């Protein structure tokens, strides 16, 4: 039986909510999650190398995914690629690793884990399946997390009574 493989590309911004959603999606489909960290090297001066903060963010991303996935018992295959063309690299890795899809995250019209421009460019030039997951804004996440607590105050026997000075 073939295992489902989901590619999670990354260039910047370790976003815990997106990482957790990717892991839960992989878990729900009994899939292997493949975090792919892409470190940009400018084509005009690759000899200068990658910026240190990009390398560190890459390491942080890969470690975070590994740690969170272990908690949910989701298999992970980590990859780090130095590239001058992010979209081409995503397509090549997805093809080489026989991925069933690429996970792209957005929130409020902005890319998460990838730049918005990278997501748009990838969608225009994708050679494999991709899934765009829209995350609620941070404001919406706070209100949906507070909702169960707020509703529990209205359950029978749990209502809080306010006394009005009279």
Number of domains in the chain: 1
Segments forming the whole domain that contains residue 87: 5-139
Asked if the structure places residue 38 within a domain, the reply is yes
Asked if the structure places residue 97 within a domain, the reply is yes
CATH number at residue 98: 3.40.50.620
SS3 (DSSP) at 35: strand
Is pTM beyond 0.75? Reply is yes
User: Would you state the pLDDT for residue 19?
Assistant: 97
- Mean pLDDT on 87-101: 97
Q: What is the mean pLDDT of the chain?
A: 86
What would the pLDDT profile of 32-74 be if each residue is shown by its tens digit?
999 999 998 877 765 677 777 889 999 999 999 999 999 999 9
Task: Give one word for 82, left, alpha or beta, with left for phi > 0 and alpha for psi -120 to 50.
Answer: beta
- Mean pLDDT on 12-25: 96
User: Would you state the pLDDT for residue 158?
Assistant: 39
């Amino acid at each position: 039986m073939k295992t489902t493989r989901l590619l999670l590309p990354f260039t910047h911004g370790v976003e815990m909510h997106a990482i957790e959603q990717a892991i839960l999606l992989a878990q729900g489909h009994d899939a292997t999650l493949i975090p792919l960290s892409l470190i940009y090297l400018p084509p005009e001066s690759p000899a200068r190398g990658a910026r240190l903060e990009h390398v560190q963010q890459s390491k942080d991303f890969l470690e975070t995914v590994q740690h969170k996935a272990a908690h949910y018992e989701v298999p992970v295959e980590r990859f780090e690629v130095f590239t001058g063309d992010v979209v081409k690299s995503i397509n090549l890795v997805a093809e080489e690793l026989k991925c069933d899809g690429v996970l792209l995250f957005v929130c409020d019209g902005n890319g998460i884990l990838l730049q918005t421009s990278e997501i748009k460019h990838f969608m225009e030039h994708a050679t494999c399946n991709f899934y765009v997951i829209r995350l609620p804004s941070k404001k919406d996440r706070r209100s949906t997390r507070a909702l169960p607590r707020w509703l529990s105050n209205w359950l029978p026997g749990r209502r809080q009574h306010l006394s009005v000075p009279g």
